[in-house]
Structure formats: structure tokens, C-alpha cells
Structure 1
Amino acid sequence: MKKRILFSLFSLVLTSLAAQEKISETVTYHLPVKTIKLNSETIAYADEGSGEETLLFVHGLSSNLDSWKKNIAGLSSDYRCIAIDLPGYGKSSRSKTDYSLSEYAGILNEIVEKMDLKNVVLAGHSMGGQIAMHSVLKYPETYKKLVLIAPAGIETFTAQEATIMKASYTPAMLVGASDEQVLANYKMNFYSFPEDAQAMVDDRIAMKSAEDFQDYAETVVNNIHAMLEEPVIDEIGKIEIPVLMIFGKNDMLIPNKYFHPSESIASLVKTSEEKFNNIAVKTIDEAGHFVNFEQSEKVNKEIRDFLE
């Protein structure tokens, strides 16, 4: 009886310890991770390869630096490749939950300055693309070229649409999502869900038991608000550096199918070519929103061609 009680108590202790894990301890990466201390945050990053140019990769909403692993594997033989976790994500710190895109742009600039990076090519996926555009506009001398992969910020929303979207995404919804819902949401990012993307799903499910998951959920929702509140489309004509934009031809997330059923990737391409001064736009067949992961070899080739 005593042994049974002791075993039960031991099990409770283990359960308690597991529940105390933070997200930074639950996520698993395929790249070696370092950290750099900034003024207000500690940033986790991967740093692979070397070359005259440095590719600085910025992940999208609810993602992390490991989402770039295939691109880094294919490009680090000729370029220095640095992928970061934005504050609030992955293994980086979270000093608050309401980061603006402008603040993220400042973080990127601080990283470039502190690491003394030269010939920086900024690459962003989805929300990371919108952050990248803000970064180039705010710090035009910092970056040499810009790579935008399925970027947010090109599609525009009315005030009414933005209000509906804000009301539709809540921290409670993220916290309460079942494992099946998590998987379904990830599958929407792909044309054909690849086996190695299951690791992303597993990490996301494991995160639900982390002690700071509520803060993470609030960060994600606030980032959605920030994307809606900090439009960039009317400013991108001021970007003078060369831009490469890549879309997956079968993207199910942008343009938004609910609000803009008549819009398409082709219409986003047309808008981009009209707004940017110096842009090359590519569309990749059999690829969804996560085109840089799903068709990494094709994306890597486009990036190489752009940089050469």
C-alpha cells in the first residue's frame, strides 16, 4: 500500500514537472541553435554556411526557424544562412505578447548590427514577408536584396473584413484546438502534405502542455491583429532594392478564399508587379502556402538565380 502511494506521488511529481516545461523546451530543431542577447530579447538562431552574402530568414505566423531547414541545407554551401526565431516563438524569449511588425523590424536591424552582418539578403515567409517589407522600408540601407515567399501584406482588407477576422481568431480558439484540428490546419498549408511536415504538427501538439502556451496563443492572435493594422501595400513602391517574390500555385491561404473568392495568385502577382519598382515574381507548381518547405529545391534554385 505504501509503495503504491509513493508511486502515485512520484507520478504526480513527474506530471507537475512536465507541465512546467516552456515551449522553448518542447520544440525540436534539426539545426544547431545559438542565442544572441539584444536590448530587450534573447533571440534563438541557426547560423550555417559562409559566403559573400548572408541570407537572413524570417519565419511566418505560428512557425519557427526550423521551417527553413531545407532551404538552409540547399543554400549554405554558397551563402551564409541565418534563420531566427522571432520574439514570442520557438526558443526565443517573449518579453510581452503584443509585438508590432515595426518592432520585429527593429529586432532584425538590431541583429544585423550586433552580428555585424554585411551584404544581407532578407527573406521572409508569410507574416515574415510582411515583416521583411517593413524592415526594408524602415532600414533601407541595411539590406541588399529582398526575398518574399507567399508574403502577407500584398492582399488588402477593408475595415469591416479586418474586424471580422480579429473576432474570428482568439487565444481560446488556439488553446482549445484538438489534435485533429491542428493537423487539418497544417494540411491547409500544403498542396500535398509531406511526411516530414508531421514533425511540425507533433511539435505544435506538444506545445499545448507547455506552461506558457496561453502567452504563445495571445502572441499569435496579436500578430494577426498587427498584420491587419500595419498594412504595407501603399508603401512598397518606395522599396528600391531588387525583390524576388515566390508563390505556390496552389496556395489555399492567400488570397483569403472567404473574403476574396474572386481573387487569385495571378491577381496578387499583377498587384506586386505594379507596386514594386524592381521585382521578379515566380509561381511554383504543386505547392501550397508553405512553398519553401514543400518545393524547397525549386525555391532554392530561384533564390540562387536571383542572387547570381
Structure 2
Amino acid sequence: MTKHTTYTDHGAGDTLVFLHGFCESTDVWAEFTKPLQQKFRTIALDLPGFGNNTQGIADYSMESMADYVKAKLEELNVKKCILVGHSMGGYVSMAFAERYSHMLSGLCLFHSSALPDTDEKKDNRNKTIEFVEKHGVEKFMQSFIEPLFYSENRDRLQKQIAMMKEIGTNTPKESVTGGLAAMRDRQDRTDVLTAAKFPLLFIFGKEDGAVPLDKALEQCHLPDNSMVYFLGKTGHMGMFERTYETRKALEKFAETIYG
């Protein structure tokens, strides 16, 4: 069991690689991946600009982050894996799939999307960048984190919400604004889904404001081989809101691929 500064690497066998979302870190996967470590090698990475990986980041684009993931996996001697991307980590996964599909045994979009931002969402990202520039990261986190969780789940998940706020507040302002701009400018990668030669697992929360149901339905049928899991009373944070169900879905997906 090894904890490194910018990644975690546990277990042995076929590899699952976890990419966190915007203003998150490897910590969001710590409890979630523990039971999976009995069967698989599980690696979680801090994406450039986030967690402990905040030194000298010049480019926050999804493509640059995908290149970072490839370099880190080569360093860790991972030739092929199932990539699991939460939210922004899913956008990075799609950029990775576009460039390095030969390294993928499968891909899980975990509350994420291959679609680009709508004009309205781009406008909201710009307003958020202005807010962060003016008021700082801590004030932004006060209003950003809780709505990621379905309202009925918030009381029982206060500890997880507090952890997310702490991770977010410790994120450098440049990473927050850089990440927002990179998500705003990301490409439409639905063609990557259509062309995928590897299986996909989609996990969606029915109450997810970040990936609305109509957008989920627009893309989950595009790959040749996809499994889709819709969760009621679940927002954007299924690893906390529905830990058992999402973990089981991922485990079954991995077992289908790896046997």
C-alpha cells in the first residue's frame, strides 16, 4: 500500500485508474477504492493544478491533462487500464481516449459527459471566473460544493461535504480559474464515443444539475458497447451519495472486461 504526493497506488492485478473532478483530489477516491484493491490495482492521480499537484502548471487544457495522465501511467508501468473519470476527470478521460485509445481496456464516465459546454454554461463559467477573481476561492467554495449533492443526501453527508470544501479551498486560485476556462473551452468528443473500440460505463445521477438527464440520454447510446446506470435521488457525487451501488457497477464492469 503506497501513498505518494500526487497519486495513490494500491493493490495488484488488472488496473483501474481514477481521475477526480474539478477542485477535487485523490482524497475523493480513498474510501471508495478500498474494497476494489482486493481484486485490482487501483491508481488515483491528482490532475495538474489540483490536490498536491500544483507546481508550475502552465496549461490546464483537457488535452494537456490527458498528456500528463499518459506520462504518469507510463512512469507507473501501466500499459492498459480502465480509466474512471469523475466530472472534469471524465472530460480528461475523453481527451485521453481521443489520443491514446490503445491504452484503454474500458472507460467509465462517472457523472461526466463527452458533450461540450452549452453557450449558457460557458457564460456561467465566465461569471464564476469573475467571481473567483473578485472574491477568492474560499467564498466560491461556500456556495459551490453543497449543490453537487442531492438535497436529501446533504444532512447525512456533512463530513464528506466538509472534506470537499477543504480540498476546494486549498486549491490555488490560478487552478480554479484555469480549470474553469479549460472546461469552458473543451471540445465536443461525442465522435470519440461513437468510434470507441473499448466498452464504456456511464454512471448518472437523476438529480445531477451538472449533467442533466437529457444530456445523459443524448450520448449513452453512442458507443458500440456501453453499460448505463441511472441513480435516483443522486446528484453529482455518487461515490459518496451511493457508494455501494456505484462501486458495484464499476466492479461488475471491470469483471466483464477483465474476466
| Cα drift, residue 136 of structure 1 | 1.0
1:218-257, CA deviations, whole angstroms, 9 ceiling, x for partnerless residues? 22222222122222334222222100010112112223xx
Task: Name the structure 1 match of 2:11.
Answer: 49
Distance 1:277 1:232, change over 3 A: farther
Residue 188 of structure 1 aligns to a residue in which SS? helix
Unaligned runs of 5+ in 1: 1-30, 36-43, 208-212, 256-264
Task: Name the structure 1 match of 2:196.
Answer: 239
Q: 2:164 aligns with which of 189, 200, 204?
A: 200
Task: Name the structure 2 match of 1:126.
Answer: 87
Matched, 1:228 2:184: yes
Instruction: Say whether the 8 Å CA contact 2:111–2:202 is kept in structure 1.
Output: yes
Q: 2:68 aligns with which of 95, 102, 107?
A: 107
Unaligned runs of 5+ in 2: none
Distance 1:141 1:187, change over 3 A: same
Matched, 1:68 2:29: yes
Instruction: Say whether the 8 Å CA contact 2:207–2:235 is kept in structure 1.
Output: yes
Residue 141 of structure 1 aligns to a residue in which SS? helix
Task: Name the structure 2 match of 1:141.
Answer: 102
TM-score by length of 1: 0.74
Which amino acid in 2 is paired with 1:92? N
Aligned counterparts of 1:176 and 1:91: Cα–Cα separation in 2: 17
Segments of 4+ moved more than 4 angstroms: none
In the TM superposition, what are the counterparts of 1:118-197 in structure 2 within 5 Å? Answer: 118-154=79-115, 156-158=117-119, 162-163=122-123, 165-170=125-130, 171-173=132-134, 175=136, 177-178=138-139, 182-191=141-150, 192-193=153-154, 194-197=157-160
Bigger Rg over Cα: 1
In the TM superposition, what are the counterparts of 1:250-289 in structure 2 within 5 Å? Answer: 250-255=207-212, 265=213, 267-289=214-236
Q: Is the deviation greater in 121-130 or in 285-294? A: 285-294
Aligned counterparts of 2:186 and 2:231: Cα–Cα separation in 1: 28
Aligned counterparts of 1:254 and 1:163: Cα–Cα separation in 2: 16
Give the RMSD, CA atoms, in angstroms.
2.2
Q: Is the deviation greater in 226-235 or in 113-122? A: 226-235
Instruction: Say whether the 8 Å CA contact 1:137–1:238 is kept in structure 2.
Output: no
Residue 169 of structure 1 aligns to a residue in which SS? helix
Aligned counterparts of 2:116 and 2:98: Cα–Cα separation in 1: 18
| Cα drift, residue 174 of structure 1 | 5.7
Instruction: Say whether the 8 Å CA contact 2:115–2:190 is kept in structure 1.
Output: no
Aligned counterparts of 1:48 and 1:173: Cα–Cα separation in 2: 40
| Cα drift, residue 295 of structure 1 | 1.1
Which amino acid in 2 is paired with 1:196? K
| Cα drift, residue 138 of structure 1 | 0.4
Instruction: Say whether the 8 Å CA contact 1:64–1:89 is kept in structure 2.
Output: yes
Identity of aligned residues (%): 25
TM-score by length of 2: 0.87
Distance 1:283 1:91, change over 3 A: same
1:85-125, CA deviations, whole angstroms, 9 ceiling, x for partnerless residues? 11111112421354211011111111121111144110100
| Cα drift, residue 162 of structure 1 | 2.4
Instruction: Say whether the 8 Å CA contact 1:54–1:118 is kept in structure 2.
Output: no
Aligned counterparts of 1:168 and 1:92: Cα–Cα separation in 2: 23
Q: Is the deviation greater in 295-304 or in 67-76? A: 67-76
Instruction: Say whether the 8 Å CA contact 1:59–1:124 is kept in structure 2.
Output: yes
Aligned counterparts of 2:2 and 2:90: Cα–Cα separation in 1: 24
Greater share of helix: 2
Instruction: Say whether the 8 Å CA contact 1:148–1:246 is kept in structure 2.
Output: yes
Matched, 1:306 2:253: yes
